[in-house]
Amino acid sequence: MLYNICISLFFLMTIIHVCSKSAVGDMMADSPVTFPETGALPSKYPPDQPSKRSEAPEEGYYLFSTPERSLKQIAAIQSEMPEGKFTPPPSDWDHLQRTKSILTQGGTLRMLALGDSIVNDTMRSGWVARLSEAYPKADIQATVYVRGGGGCQHYKEENRIQKNVIPLKPDLIFIGGISQKDIDSIREVIHQLRADLPEVEILLATGTFGTSDPRVPEELAKAGHSGTGEYGKKLKKLAKEEKCAYLDMTTPWAECIRSSNQHPHVFYRDRVHANVYGEQILSKILMGFWKDAE
């Protein structure tokens, strides 16, 4: 069910969102992949652990559990995907002390990911299963709250944080994707979260995938979600001001694709979104960020 959502509604809404931004280069010019006119290429590895919880709190918004993939399936995908290398992003534990304590000493860690279809892909990679493997003392319970083309400009409205996030009492919130319209909306969501959950820890991440060519640094820096351009600078500044952790996912993602010596579309299922190989790049980046909590 969730996979079908990704290749239909998320595809259409994110395409509209991305194409409304300033023009970027065309990776289709030398693409070795032929994408369907609508929808996406079928997945070689549909998730083997369907979400235990799946609901739509309102039209176009989806709330479900993750990791969706088993460690066995993750290992199978990673064993056959093109190899790429990247510099692991620096861990940012200063504002994740409670999370660090639970990971290393034990307890329940309630995590919630907030954003768009790229966040959906990130969480469907199964990286939470790998995090549980790395920190076996912790009981990690992860939930995803997304909409196609969704950013904090949507979540701050209609009392959505209070109705759909606060009741879950998350300890850690991951906010990311390529659809964040403005920094002020992210700040407003942070304030709404902390009004009811003063101890919640928040990780702000820059975007990956979309239509900007990761082989062209100048083009990638112009993308409205990129950690290598103005958005990354503003998001990092916001993280410092609001005492949140910060993760630039853009830089290691681009490094990994470039070092693979493959066309970026080898990692895409359509012109915007990751396929199972692309998802695992995101998984590896996140695991690099969460290293060394001990």
> pLDDT at position 52, please?
87
C-alpha span between 89 and 259 (Å, rounded)? 16
C-alpha span between 292 and 40 (Å, rounded)? 37
Tell me the residue range of the domain where 42 lies: 2-19+38-289
Number of structural domains in the chain: 1
Range from 1-15, 39-53, 232-246 carrying the lowest mean pLDDT: 1-15
Reported as a single tens digit per residue, the pLDDT across 99-134 is 999 999 999 999 999 999 999 999 999 999 999 999
> pLDDT at position 292, please?
84
pLDDT at 2 over 80: no
Left (φ > 0), alpha (ψ -120 to 50) or beta: where does 172 sit?
beta
C-alpha span between 148 and 291 (Å, rounded)? 30
Query: What average pLDDT does the chain have?
Result: 93
Q: Do the domain assignments include residue 32? A: no
Q: Do the domain assignments include residue 257? A: yes
- DSSP assignment of 8-20 equals IIIHHHHHHHHHT
- DSSP assignment of the chain equals -HHHHIIIIIHHHHHHHHHTSS----GGGG-S----SSS-PPPSS--SS--S-EEEEETTEEEEEE--S-HHHHHHHHHHSPP---PPPPP--TT-HHHHHHHHH-EEEEEEEEESHHHHHHHHTTHHHHHHHH-TTEEEEEEEEEETT--HHHHTSTTHIIIIIGGG--SEEEE--S----HHHHHHHHHHHHHH-TT-EEEEE----SSS-TT-HHHHHHSTT-TTSHHHHHHHHHHHHHT-EEE--HHHHHHHHHHTTS-GGGGBSSSSSB-HHHHHHHHHHHHHHTTT--
Q: Do the domain assignments include residue 28? A: no
pLDDT at 286 over 80: yes
Q: Do the domain assignments include residue 44? A: yes
pLDDT at 87 over 90: yes
Q: Do the domain assignments include residue 24? A: no
Contact 214, 281 (CB under 8 A): no
Q: Do the domain assignments include residue 149? A: yes
Q: Do the domain assignments include residue 25? A: no
Q: Do the domain assignments include residue 135? A: yes
Reported as a single tens digit per residue, the pLDDT across 217-262 is 999 999 999 999 999 999 999 999 999 999 999 999 999 999 999 9
Here the CATH number for the domain that contains residue 120 is 3.40.50.1110
The single residue listed with the structure tokens 């509604």 is 9
